Amino acid sequence: MFSAGFVLAGGGSSRMGRDKALLPFAGGVLLEHVAREVEAAAGSLTLLGDPALYGHLGWPVWPDLVPGCGPMGALYTALSRTEADWNLFVACDMPDVRREDLALLLAQAGAGETDCVAPVTEENRSHPLCAAYHRRVLPAVTRALSDNHLKMQDLLAAVQTVFTRAIGPEHLTNVNTPEEWLDACRTPH
């Protein structure tokens, strides 16, 4: 199965007070760590964000084709340009994401006829920004953008989504505040 990997590096990081993607982590920055995990799982890696901020990291960086639409705009950008059927999307603020889990998401995606495979926790919290999307969801993303329906959870409901509990919640945490960041840094990676 031909797949592509993407890391979403945009966003305002308003609760963190600084760019989460560039937080120091594991001898580099958080974005590099997440990007390496995604690249190992998907076989390729493209960053979705501002080339001026992230171009120095060595991976291709695609700016949003429709700016100001958050993750939905980044998804639109990637699905508009990708040549892969299955596309793995992971937010840059997930320090505990693991390549083995991401590879499992892609394997589950390729095993059936679905549009998306997204992890869900026992509390039924789904993770649309750590999920595999088939490029056939592009029309649904285009409609969401034109209708200004930018909630990723709504997109999961609008397409055929398989929810999986194959990834433990400890690997799905994201960091939004300085306190969450400190907790993440205390955990061995």
Looking at the 3D structure of the chain, how many domains does it have?
1
- Tokens 């997930």 found at: 94
pLDDT given at position 12: 73
Determine the Cα–Cα distance for residues 39 and 154; give it in Å rounded to an integer. Answer: 27
**Mind listing the pLDDT tens digit for each residue in 84-98?**
999 999 999 999 999
Whether residue 81 has pLDDT greater than 60: yes
Average pLDDT of the segment spanning 44-63: 97
Determine the Cα–Cα distance for residues 170 and 186; give it in Å rounded to an integer. Answer: 14
Determine the Cα–Cα distance for residues 82 and 157; give it in Å rounded to an integer. Answer: 23
Domain span at 83: 3-186
Q: How confident is the model at residue 17 (pLDDT cuts 50, 70, 90)?
A: confident
**Mind listing the pLDDT tens digit for each residue in 121-172?**
888 899 999 999 999 999 999 999 999 999 999 999 999 999 999 888 889 9
Average pLDDT of the segment spanning 170-185: 85
Structure tokens at 101: 């889990």
CATH of the domain at 111: 3.90.550.10
Whether residue 70 has pLDDT greater than 80: yes
Higher pLDDT among residues 67 and 26, named by residue: 67
Higher pLDDT among residues 1 and 20, named by residue: 20
SS (H, E, C) 8-54: ECCCCCCCCCCCHHHCEECCEEHHHHHHHHHHHHHCCCEEECCHHHH
pLDDT given at position 52: 96
